[in-house]
Amino acid sequence: MIAPSILSADFARLADEVAAVAGSDWLHVDVMDAHFVPNLTLGLPIVEALLKVTDIPMDCHLMIENPERWAIGYAEAGAHNVTVHAEAAREPVRIARDLRAAGAKAGLSVKPDTPLEPYLEVLREFDTLLVMSVEPGFGGQKFIAHVLDKVRMVRTMIDTGHLNLLVEIDGGINADTIEQAAEAGVDCFVAGSAVYSAADPAMAVRALRTQAANAAHHLT
């Protein structure tokens, strides 16, 4: 699965930029509040507007404080998957259950240096795990390879029946890094610059999907 990140799109032409990645599995929307991360992007009104112009499932990544208050609105608006950060969530289990009750899948994200072990039990309540392979807040950063240890841990737990969720990765994913992420056990790849800097973004999505599928048996 490839989820183009509109953080790398032209914000003045968002509807056109979304149309340019037709055929993508998910559309990744980075919501930042300038508190949890040092950047301010877009919020619920933009997500609601985008939902009217595309049928690509919306993957909302909330890099915000107090997700208990704000996350449910994205689910109620029609987002397919809503991800909150483990570092910001005071009641992650409650958030997961509320998101599911509102009709969305529930995702939990961890920063590159956040250990995964304290959240392994909590992950049983979630549908997706988003492993950050850059520090959250800005696009165009270099891929941090050591986070793949967390991916391998979770993939083993999935393969042995201890967890049942989709593994997503976000940060520095491109033609040079997607294969090692796929080999480690990732299911869904967020790609920003690698898609939107291409002459044909939709073709870039297809090429990345093929690369990932060829690199990992669990994706075929």
Residues serving a catalytic function are 30, 170
Sign of CA dihedral 87, 101, 157, 122: positive
Q: Does residue 23 contact residue 202 with C-beta atoms inside 8 Å?
A: yes
> Residue 162 CB: number of other CB atoms within 10 A?
12
Q: Does residue 92 contact residue 125 with C-beta atoms inside 8 Å?
A: yes
81, 104, 187, 190 from 125: Cα distances, Å: 14, 13, 18, 22
